[in-house]
């Protein structure tokens, strides 16, 4: 890897002025499970590496405020919290969509090093992007090689996307389904952003997979605490299909959250998010609409799954993801509603 200057500030306020206004000059280092690979492969060659590992306090903690309606608490997860701690936290037991997704990331080594901030801000895993010898669109080249190349692990929602990588974070879909809001620190103070607006499909080197500015730091995400009508509960679940059971990204993922009304087994305030099928974690209002206000059963879950894939435009080698995604959406809905897995 190229030489760089290493900083280890102890406060976010010390870290911020070390960042630069354009991408590529400085990189934040959290667990390093993504960044170190990129440095060693010459995919990223920053002049400065700013470690977040000495920052303590809320940045590394999970905290909860009880919900006056008796429902799930409002939870804030610091960006420096390890993936393994998210998977196991008792404060998150009402949010299986998130904890099961965290528990399935990679293997124990990565989960014990990787952090929430690193998961949400990691760069994509397209093999053309990760090859130091290939100048793809995101590295200033003129074309996306996956469009006509080896694209079996790429996006199936491709329309309007010059780069067809898939967004790599498995935590983004459940957090978006749960309506999470990000707290972000920058030179002008702290701002809040709904997580569904924190991601973008990049198409040039000046863009990342997220919309944070190069001189901003993700501090935490907050979700839950919403009052629930009596007799109802917050149903949520994630389901992913993988080629390998461990140390791999999902081929497809679906995360769902809805208020499950006791009388009539109905779903309300439905949110369905598709993962690893588009350059962004994809909120699917079409799928949610199929379930909204209806009884949750095989029929309505299947209708939502059909609606979820209606806009898919697969590439030459990845149409196999469509039936997988349908199964993931249907199973996530049924799991959230408490159906026993029959698959």
Ligand X SMILES: Cc1cc2nc3c(=O)[nH]c(=O)nc-3n(C[C@H](O)[C@H](O)[C@H](O)COP(=O)(O)OP(=O)(O)OC[C@H]3O[C@@H](n4cnc5c(N)ncnc54)[C@H](O)[C@@H]3O)c2cc1C
Binding site for ligand X (CB under 6 A): 27-35, 52, 79, 83, 105-106, 110, 113-115, 117-119, 121-122, 168-171, 212, 217-218, 247-250
**260/338 Cα distance (integer angstroms):** 10
**15/219 Cα distance (integer angstroms):** 12
Q: Which residue is nearest to ligand X (CB)?
A: 118
Choose between 213 and 303: whose C-beta lies nearer to ligand X.
213
Shortest distance, position 142 Cβ to ligand X, whole Å: 25
Shortest distance, position 29 Cβ to ligand X, whole Å: 5
Shortest distance, position 73 Cβ to ligand X, whole Å: 23
Choose between 274 and 307: whose C-beta lies nearer to ligand X.
274
Q: Give whole-number Cα distances, 90 to 71, 191, 330, 331, 341, in Å.
A: 15, 28, 27, 24, 24
Classify 50 as helix, strand or coil. Answer: strand
Classify 309 as helix, strand or coil. Answer: helix
Choose between 34 and 196: whose C-beta lies nearer to ligand X.
34
Choose between 31 and 73: whose C-beta lies nearer to ligand X.
31
Shortest distance, position 248 Cβ to ligand X, whole Å: 6
Instruction: Please report how many Cα atoms fall inside a 13 Å half-sphere around the Cα of residue 148, on the Cβ side.
Output: 1
Shortest distance, position 124 Cβ to ligand X, whole Å: 11
Contacts of 66 (CB under 8 A, 6+ apart): 73
Shortest distance, position 240 Cβ to ligand X, whole Å: 8
**218/118 Cα distance (integer angstroms):** 9
| Structural contact between residues 21 and 215, judged by C-beta atoms closer than 8 angstroms | yes
By CB atoms closer than 10 A (0-12, 13-18, 19+), residue 273 is: buried
The dihedrals phi and psi of 64, each to the nearest 5 degrees, come to -135, 140
Choose between 291 and 328: whose C-beta lies nearer to ligand X.
328
Shortest distance, position 66 Cβ to ligand X, whole Å: 27
Choose between 72 and 250: whose C-beta lies nearer to ligand X.
250
Choose between 59 and 258: whose C-beta lies nearer to ligand X.
59
Q: What is the DSSP letter of 154?
A: S
């Amino acid at each position: 890897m190229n030489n760089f200057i290493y900083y280890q500030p102890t406060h976010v306020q010390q870290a911020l002025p070390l960042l630069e206004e354009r991408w590529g000059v400085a990189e934040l280092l959290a667990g390093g499970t993504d960044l170190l690979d990129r440095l060693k492969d010459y995919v990223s060659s920053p002049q400065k590496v700013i470690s977040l590992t000495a920052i303590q306090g809320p940045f590394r903690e999970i905290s909860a405020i009880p919900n006056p309606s008796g429902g799930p608490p409002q939870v804030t997860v610091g960006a420096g919290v390890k993936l393994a701690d998210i998977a196991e936290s008792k404060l998150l037991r009402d949010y299986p969509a998130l904890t099961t997704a965290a528990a399935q990331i990679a293997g124990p080594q990565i989960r014990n090093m990787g952090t929430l901030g690193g998961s949400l801000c990691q760069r994509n895993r397209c093999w053309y992007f990760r090859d130091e010898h290939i100048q793809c669109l995101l590295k200033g080249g003129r074309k996306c090689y996956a469009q006509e190349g080896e694209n079996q692990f790429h996006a199936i929602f491709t329309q309007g996307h010059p780069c067809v990588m898939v967004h790599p974070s498995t935590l983004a879909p459940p957090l978006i389904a749960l309506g999470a809001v990000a707290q972000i620190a920058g030179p002008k103070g702290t701002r809040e952003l709904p997580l569904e607006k924190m991601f973008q499909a990049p198409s040039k080197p000046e863009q990342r997979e997220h919309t944070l500015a190069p001189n901003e730091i993700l501090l935490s995400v907050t979700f839950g605490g919403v009052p629930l009508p009596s007799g109802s509960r917050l149903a949520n679940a994630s389901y992913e299909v993988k080629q390998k059971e461990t140390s791999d990204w999902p081929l497809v993922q679906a995360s769902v959250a809805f208020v499950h009304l006791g009388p009539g087994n109905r779903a309300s305030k439905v949110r369905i998010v598709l993962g690893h099928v588009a350059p962004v974690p994809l909120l699917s209002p079409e799928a949610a609409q199929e379930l909204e206000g209806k009884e949750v059963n095989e029929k309505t879950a299947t209708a939502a799954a059909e609606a979820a894939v209606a806009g898919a435009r697969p590439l030459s080698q990845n149409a196999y993801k469509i039936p997988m995604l349908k199964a993931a959406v249907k199973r996530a809905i049924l799991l959230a509603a408490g159906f026993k897995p029959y698959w």
